[in-house]
């Protein structure tokens, strides 16, 4: 029940009953989850918008929201007796999987584009992973990782190739409700590459309603992508069920440089069911808005986090967001991994 949560530890395993790892001996925890929901008052004053909040996922272990999904997925793999795990990644997921694999004593194989910022590579190496750098994008990494899965029997933790990462990501939805005293916001703005965070939160809202924890009200969900890689935005506005892969994908936000999302139809369904929206922003606007968050709220956010504020400002100009509404921006990672962008 909601009352039980009052005495639980401040990490995502406080929601253990709705997570897939039954034996608590296998629950790998580095303190992931229960991240701050910050009322961005100074930023709100600057923008003349009083009910603006930032969910600060950059304080998770390995500095991104990816810790949630990988904590649960690697824990479940550990519980199932898996000995080696594999992931293709734009950076953050690789570091997160490496950390939890290390904690469980599992072999860890990561596949990343060779041009990812060095901190992502350094982190994986320090955590004991075998790092494979690929000449291409995350989709190319996925193909090569899949060969290793087939050949060596590694457990594949690619996006939506197993059901457990999504379960970890959905805890963002549980936390959001709990931190807002079980009243969901009007709008959630989320940076979208693979999109499991968005899909997971939508699942969490349905589960909480079934549990009697919240009512039927849902936020309007907004996906934000980069102008240089916006397959979901294009598909949303074209009214299609699936998204065509994006040609020549590029962005300074590595997490948004995903030309084809496996769960495209689930992302698009979530946006439409919620009466949501999809917008793309320029890389320069991401950094400009990341700086505005930084100097207003003292948070060093990723370009993806900056993208959410840029999207908020665009949607407000279009009167899609009303002045009295409550809006939550998700900063999915720390700016520290992208320090080179501030040279």
The reported pLDDT for the residue numbered 160 is: 84
Q: CATH 3.40.50.1100 occupies which residues in the chain?
A: 3-64+165-342, 66-162
More confidently predicted of 159 and 163:
163
More confidently predicted of 258 and 53:
53
Q: How far apart are CA 90 and CA 212, in angstroms?
A: 37
Q: How far apart are CA 251 and CA 187, in angstroms?
A: 25
The reported pLDDT for the residue numbered 61 is: 97
| Exposure of 334 in the CB half-sphere (CA atoms within 13 A) | 14
Contacts of 207-210 with C-beta under 8 Å, sequence gap 24+, read 207/18, 207/170, 208/173, 208/174, 208/177
The reported pLDDT for the residue numbered 159 is: 84
Q: Strand, helix or coil at 131?
A: strand
For residue 195, pLDDT over 90 is answered with no
The reported pLDDT for the residue numbered 284 is: 97
Q: How far apart are CA 156 and CA 266, in angstroms?
A: 20
Q: Strand, helix or coil at 133?
A: strand
The reported pLDDT for the residue numbered 73 is: 98
- CATH architecture of structural domain 3-64+165-342: 3-Layer(aba) Sandwich (3.40)
The predicted model scores a pTM of: 0.96
Question: Predicted confidence band at 308 (pLDDT cuts at 50, 70, 90)?
Answer: very high
Q: Are 60 and 69 in contact (CB under 8 A)?
A: no
Question: Predicted confidence band at 298 (pLDDT cuts at 50, 70, 90)?
Answer: very high
For 93-124, the pLDDT digits (tens) are: 999 999 999 999 999 999 999 999 999 999 99
Q: Are 193 and 221 in contact (CB under 8 A)?
A: no
Q: Are 229 and 258 in contact (CB under 8 A)?
A: yes
Q: In angstroms, how far is the first alpha carbon of the chain from the final one?
A: 49
Q: How far apart are CA 147 and CA 154, in angstroms?
A: 10
For 65-92, the pLDDT digits (tens) are: 999 999 999 999 999 999 999 999 988 9
CATH 3.40.50.970 fits 66-162, yes or no: no
For residue 262, pLDDT over 90 is answered with no
Q: How far apart are CA 208 and CA 72, in angstroms?
A: 19
Q: What average pLDDT does the segment 275-280 reach?
A: 98
Question: Which is nearest to 165 in space by CA: 230, 244, 69?
Answer: 69
For 34-61, the pLDDT digits (tens) are: 999 999 999 999 999 999 999 999 999 9
Q: Are 90 and 255 in contact (CB under 8 A)?
A: yes
Question: Predicted confidence band at 191 (pLDDT cuts at 50, 70, 90)?
Answer: very high
Q: What average pLDDT does the segment 7-29 reach?
A: 98
């Amino acid at each position: 029940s909601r009352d039980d949560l009052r005495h639980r530890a401040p990490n995502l395993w406080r929601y253990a009953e709705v997570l897939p790892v039954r034996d608590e001996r296998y629950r790998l925890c580095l303190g992931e989850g229960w991240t701050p929901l910050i009322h961005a008052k100074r930023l709100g004053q600057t923008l003349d918008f009083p009910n603006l909040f930032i969910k600060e996922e950059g304080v998770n272990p390995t500095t991104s929201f990816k810790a949630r999904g990988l904590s649960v997925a690697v824990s479940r793999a550990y519980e199932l007796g898996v000995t080696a795990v594999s992931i293709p990644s734009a950076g953050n997921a690789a570091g997160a999987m490496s950390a939890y694999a290390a904690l469980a004593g599992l072999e860890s194989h990561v596949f990343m584009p060779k041009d990812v910022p060095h901190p992502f590579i350094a982190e994986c190496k320090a955590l004991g992973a075998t790092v494979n750098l690929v000449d291409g994008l995350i989709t190319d990494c996925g193909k090569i990782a899949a060969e290793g899965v087939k050949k060596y029997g590694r457990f594949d933790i690619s996006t939506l190739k197993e059901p457990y990462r999504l379960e970890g990501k959905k805890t963002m939805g549980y936390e959001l409700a709990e931190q807002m005293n079980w009243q969901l916001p009007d709008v959630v703005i989320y940076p979208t590459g693979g999109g499991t965070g968005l899909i997971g939160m939508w699942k969490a809202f349905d589960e909480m309603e079934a549990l009697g924890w919240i009512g039927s009200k849902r936020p309007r969900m907004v996906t934000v992508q980069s102008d240089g890689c916006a397959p979901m935005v294009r598909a949303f506005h074209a009214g299609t069920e699936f998204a065509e892969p994006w040609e020549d994908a590029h962005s300074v936000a590595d997490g948004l440089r995903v030309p084809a999302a496996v769960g495209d139809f689930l992302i698009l369904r979530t946006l439409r069911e919620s009466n949501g929206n999809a917008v793309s922003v320029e890389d320069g606007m991401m950094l400009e808005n990341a700086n505005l968050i930084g100097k207003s709220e003292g948070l060093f956010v990723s370009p993806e986090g900056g993208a959410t504020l840029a999207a908020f400002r665009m949607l407000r100009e279009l009167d899609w967001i009303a002045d009295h509404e409550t809006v939550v921006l998700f900063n999915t990672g720390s700016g520290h991994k992208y320090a080179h962008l501030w040279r």
